[in-house]
């Protein structure tokens, strides 16, 4: 089942990237950021899921200390970059709806590239700090991780040293990477809702709400499990619960994102039909 879901996630996000790249109508800031989200999702799930599948199918459950550190680094990098990118996508929607006349200037190509670079930079900084601090603890007892990949909370349970101070650092990092973007998204959508309610055009309101509802669905699916994992105290966690929650944001959410963004989006579905039509004509000829 995991193999099928992972394959669908990679295929769906790759199709979204190629569709946005191929159709000139989708060469807008919103779809550029969406293509970056799909790009992140491909690699975010690929950091952990192939190793998990190999463990299930072939029993390859061991991982070197260096491999564990690398997996944790890229997982934290891509996860934090996606958190930041989702907040920036909310800013894009706020600008498009609340400042439509200035939108081409505020969301120019250069601005979009800077926003994407900022998400990668923030993710890299977060991953470097978290990985360096986690790996500096002594692990002198059991080396068996009660999880299907190397994630910070699971590794801290194996440390034979007091990790209380670092858990506070982890909490503060969670506030910066998770709660600050959530507050930014909430504020953006409160302003968007106020602007939408003032619109006279029913069609305009419907289109704005359809686009924003897709983004809000993705935000809830991604941020919810991460807040549980990184913001709640360790006493509220159990290995079984952590496995279920981690599967949700490493496998299910990347699979659902392209579905959510295309289901209620006429531009994406129109571009998809156009591509399928061309393929059908090509086969006929």
pLDDT digits (tens, 9 = 90+) for 151-181: 888 888 888 888 888 888 888 888 888 889 9
Report the predicted TM-score, pTM, of the whole model to 2 decimal places.
0.87
277/63 Cα distance (integer angstroms): 46
Nearest to 263 by CA among 225, 196, 215, 221: 215
Domains along the sequence of the chain with CATH: 1-280 (1.20.1070.10)
The model's pLDDT over 84-138, given as tens digits with 9 standing for 90+, comes to 999 999 999 999 988 989 999 999 999 999 999 999 999 999 999 989 988 888 8
More confident residue, 191 or 148: 191
Question: What is the C-alpha separation between 255 and 2, in angstroms, rounded?
Answer: 11
The better pLDDT of the pair 266, 43 is held by 43
Considering Cα of 142, then 143, then 145, then 150, what sign does the dihedral take? positive
């Amino acid at each position: 089942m995991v193999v099928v879901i992972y394959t669908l996630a990679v295929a769906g996000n790759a199709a979204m990237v190629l569709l946005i790249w191929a159709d000139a109508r989708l060469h807008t800031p919103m779809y550029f950021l969406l293509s970056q989200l799909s790009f992140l999702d491909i690699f975010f799930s690929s950091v952990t899921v192939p190793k998990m599948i190999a463990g299930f199918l072939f029993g390859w459950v061991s991982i070197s200390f260096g491999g564990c550190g690398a997996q944790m680094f890229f997982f934290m990098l891509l996860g934090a970059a996606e958190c930041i990118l989702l907040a920036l996508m909310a800013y894009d929607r706020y600008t498009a709806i609340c400042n439509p006349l200035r939108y081409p200037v505020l969301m120019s190509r250069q601005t979009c590239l800077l926003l994407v670079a900022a998400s990668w930079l923030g993710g890299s900084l977060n991953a470097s700090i978290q990985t360096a601090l986690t790996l500096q603890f002594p692990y002198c007892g059991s080396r068996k991780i009660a999880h299907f990949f190397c994630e910070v909370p699971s590794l801290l349970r194996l440390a034979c040293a007091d990790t209380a101070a670092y858990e506070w650092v982890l909490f503060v990092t969670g506030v910066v990477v998770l709660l600050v973007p959530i507050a930014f998204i909430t504020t953006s959508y409160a302003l968007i809702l106020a602007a939408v309610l003032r619109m006279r055009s029913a069609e305009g309101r419907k289109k704005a709400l359809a686009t924003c509802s897709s983004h809000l669905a993705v935000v809830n699916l991604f941020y919810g499990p991460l807040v549980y994992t990184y913001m709640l105290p360790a006493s509220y966690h159990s290995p079984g619960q952590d496995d279920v929650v981690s599967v949700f944001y490493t496998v299910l959410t990347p699979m659902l994102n392209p579905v959510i963004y295309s289901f209620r989006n006429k531009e994406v579905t129109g571009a998809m039909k156009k591509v399928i039509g061309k393929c059908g004509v090509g086969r006929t000829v």
